Amino acid sequence: MAGLWSAIEAEHPARIGLDRPAGHGGIAMAGGSLAATARDWARIGTLQIDGRWAGRQVVSRSWVEASSRPEREFLAPGRLPSTITTHAGFGYHWWPLDRDGQRVMADGMRGQFVYVDRPRRIVIVKTSAWPYADAWWDRQCRDLCYLALPAIADAAAAAAAVRPDSAR
C-alpha cells in the first residue's frame, strides 16, 4: 500500500480496518475497510479511469479493465444477494454498475464511496460517517449511494454541456 500511496502522491495516511488488534495478529479485512481523505479517494478513483496518475502509468490498463468487470456470471450487476446490493456486481473490490465495467464504485470504510465513470472521466467521492446499528438502514444508505452518485455525475455532465461558451 505504501508504494501505491506514494505513487498517487496521497496527502494523508490511510486507515485499514483489522479483524482484531494488530498486537494480537490482526490482519487487514478483505472488503470495505479502507478509510482515506476525500482527496486521496479521488486519486484512487482517477487511477480507475486508465491506471495513470500525473502522467505516469501506476497500474496497468489491463488491470484496471479486469478489476472493473466481474469474472463470473454470478458476480455480474444485479446478481449479488440483496443483502449486499442489487445495484452492482463485483470485480477486484470494485463494484461495476454495468456489465462492461465502464461505471464502477469503490466502497470504503463507514460510508466512504467513490464513483468512477470511465468514458466521461468523472470521479465523485462521498464521505460520511456510518455504519448504523440497524442493518436494514445501513443497506438502504448503501443502495442510495449506488443510485445517487451516478445521478450526480449525469447532472454534472449535463450542466457542463450547457454552460455558455466563454469565448462568445
Residue 47 is placed in which grid cell?
487511477
Name the least confident of 1-10, 44-53, 134-143. Answer: 134-143
How do 113-117 and 122-126 pair as beta strands? Answer: antiparallel
Residue 18 is placed in which grid cell?
483489522
Q: What is the pLDDT of residues 13-68, one digit of tens each?
A: 888 778 888 888 888 776 667 888 999 999 999 999 999 999 999 999 999 999 99
Q: What is the pLDDT of residues 66-81, one digit of tens each?
A: 999 988 888 888 888 8
Q: What is the pLDDT of residue 87?
A: 85
Name the least confident of 33-37, 126-130, 148-152. Answer: 126-130
Closest CA to 79 of 94, 68, 89: 89
Q: What is the model's pTM?
A: 0.84
- Average model confidence (pLDDT) across the chain: 86
Q: Is CATH 3.40.50.970 the classification given to domain 2-162? A: no
Residue 141: pLDDT band (50, 70, 90) is: confident
Q: What is the pLDDT of residue 140?
A: 82
Domain range annotation of the chain: 2-162
With contact defined as beta carbons under 8 Å apart, do 14 and 83 qualify?
Answer: no
Residue 5 is placed in which grid cell?
500511496
Q: What is the pLDDT of residue 48?
A: 95
Residue 168 has pLDDT above 60, yes or no: no
Q: How many CB atoms lie within 10 A of CB 71?
A: 13
Residue 167 has pLDDT above 50, yes or no: no
Query: How far apart are alpha carbons 36 and 22 in whole angstroms?
Result: 19
Q: What is the pLDDT of residue 81?
A: 80
Strand partners, 52: 57
